[in-house]
């Protein structure tokens, strides 16, 4: 049975796919990913499974309810990875709350 989210995403995909600019937006997303150095194509070593991706389609609305634009993003299915097999370390660049407070205090005093 499909969830409401699956049905909604399918409907958004159907709307976007008929939109004349959808192909250009898809190509723009791929170009941006390549330009930012987010990935590089390599030959996959034997016995290594590639991480799969999926397209996420969203609709951005104006305040009056009309469509402002369609958003297309390529995302990695990171949840398919297994620690110790597909990756060995985790990195998440997050600032500590104390550090953020100190930076804000210093910035406020510099004004």
pLDDT tens-digit series, residues 45-64: 887 778 888 888 777 888 89
Torsion angle, alpha carbons of 28, 33, 35, 36, to 10: 140
pLDDT for 22 beyond 80: no
Q: Using one digit for the tens of pLDDT, what is the confidence trace for 62-93?
A: 889 887 877 788 888 877 777 777 777 777 77
Domain that includes residue 48, residue range: 4-110
Q: How many domains does the chain have?
A: 1
d(CA 32, CA 72): 12
pTM, two decimal places: 0.51
Instruction: Give the whole-number percent of the chain exceeding pLDDT 90.
Output: 10
Contact residues for 13 (Cβ-Cβ < 8 A; gap 6+): 55, 57
Is the CB of residue 94 less than 8 Å from the CB of residue 50? Answer: no
């Amino acid at each position: 049975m499909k969830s409401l989210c699956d049905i909604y995403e399918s409907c958004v995909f159907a709307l976007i796919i008929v939109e004349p600019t959808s192909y250009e937006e898809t190509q723009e997303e791929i170009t941006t990913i390549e330009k930012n150095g987010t990935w590089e194509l390599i030959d996959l070593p034997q016995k290594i499974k590639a991480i799969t991706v999926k397209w996420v389609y969203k609709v951005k609305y104006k305040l009056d309810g009309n469509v402002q634009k369609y958003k297309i993003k390529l995302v990695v299915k990171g949840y398919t990875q297994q620690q110790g097999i597909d990756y060995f370390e985790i990195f998440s660049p997050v600032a500590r709350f104390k550090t953020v407070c100190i930076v804000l205090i210093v910035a406020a005093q510099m004004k």
